[in-house]
Amino acid sequence: MRAPFPAPETRPEAEIVAAAIQGSSRDALELWDRYAPLVRRLMARGLGSRADADDGVQDVFIKVFRSLPSLRQAESIRSYVVAITMTTIRTELRKRRLRRLWGLESQGGTLPEPPTAPSDVGVRLALKRLEAALDMLKPDDRIAFCLRHVEAMELTEVASAMGWSLASTKRYLTRAKQRLWVLVGKDPVLAPYLESAGVVGKERL
């Protein structure tokens, strides 16, 4: 018997978005399944707290589903979701600054461990140090770097998600990599790891 729907991994995103707009709970759930892990990772990196990230995922998808009918290009859904995630992160960071200004919140919060721990001890150590170094970057720089080098998004996708021009995106990424290299360039564990991954290095500045 022929399946009523194609396999999830083969269904075009535009088709899923169109069905979700029409009220298909199945397709709305598929959008959640596809993008909630990405949103959670970005929220954790942007806010520095797994608990805040979980709350943030809910907020992001409420906004996504409410505004989905206004999406002009359904095939751009990933960039659209990331853009809403970034707006949510920036809003929360502004609220935190105000709360700290009035002494209502501490500066606490650290980036969580990677969702899956690699088996190699050296890689685990490098990732732990990378998380600490990324936490020292400005929020926009950190998120842009992660979109490009962790989530492997194209430059045009990063630009769309961040709301920047392509030239500005390249400039922010260059600044992030330069700052990161200053922080880790002499780290005997992390520097070789990042260089071998083609992310940073003196020759790439």
Which is more confident, 164 or 205?
164
Do 1-107 and 120-205 show the same overall fold? no
Over residues 115-137, the pLDDT tens digits come to 444 456 666 777 778 778 888 88
pLDDT of residue 9: 55
Whether 180 contacts 134, CB under 8 Å: yes
pLDDT band at 98 (very low <50, low <70, confident <90, very high): low
- pLDDT attached to residue 99: 63
Counting residues of the chain whose pLDDT is more than 90, the rounded percentage is 30
Across all residues in the chain, what is the average pLDDT? Answer: 79
Q: Is the pLDDT of residue 166 over 90?
A: yes
CB neighbours (10 Å) of residue 195?
A: 16
Global model pTM greater than 0.75: no
Reported as a single tens digit per residue, the pLDDT across 16-58 is 999 999 999 999 999 999 999 999 998 888 887 777 788 889 9
Tell me the fold of 1-107: Rna Polymerase Sigma Factor; Chain: A (1.10.1740)
The answer to whether residue 103 scores a pLDDT higher than 70 is no
- Using 50, 70 and 90 to split pLDDT, how confident is the model at 199? confident
Domain ranges of the chain: 1-107, 120-205
Amino acid letter, residue 201 = G
Q: Which residues contact 91 (CB under 8 A, 6 or more apart)?
A: none
Q: What is the pLDDT of residue 110?
A: 38
Candidates 3.40.50.10190, 1.10.10.10, 3.40.50.20, 1.20.1090.10; correct CATH number of 120-205?
A: 1.10.10.10
Q: Give the whole-angstrom CA distance, residue 86 versus residue 54.
A: 15
* DSSP string of 119-168, one letter each residue: S-HHHHHHHHHHHHHHTTS-HHHHHHHHHHHTS---HHHHHHHHT--HHH
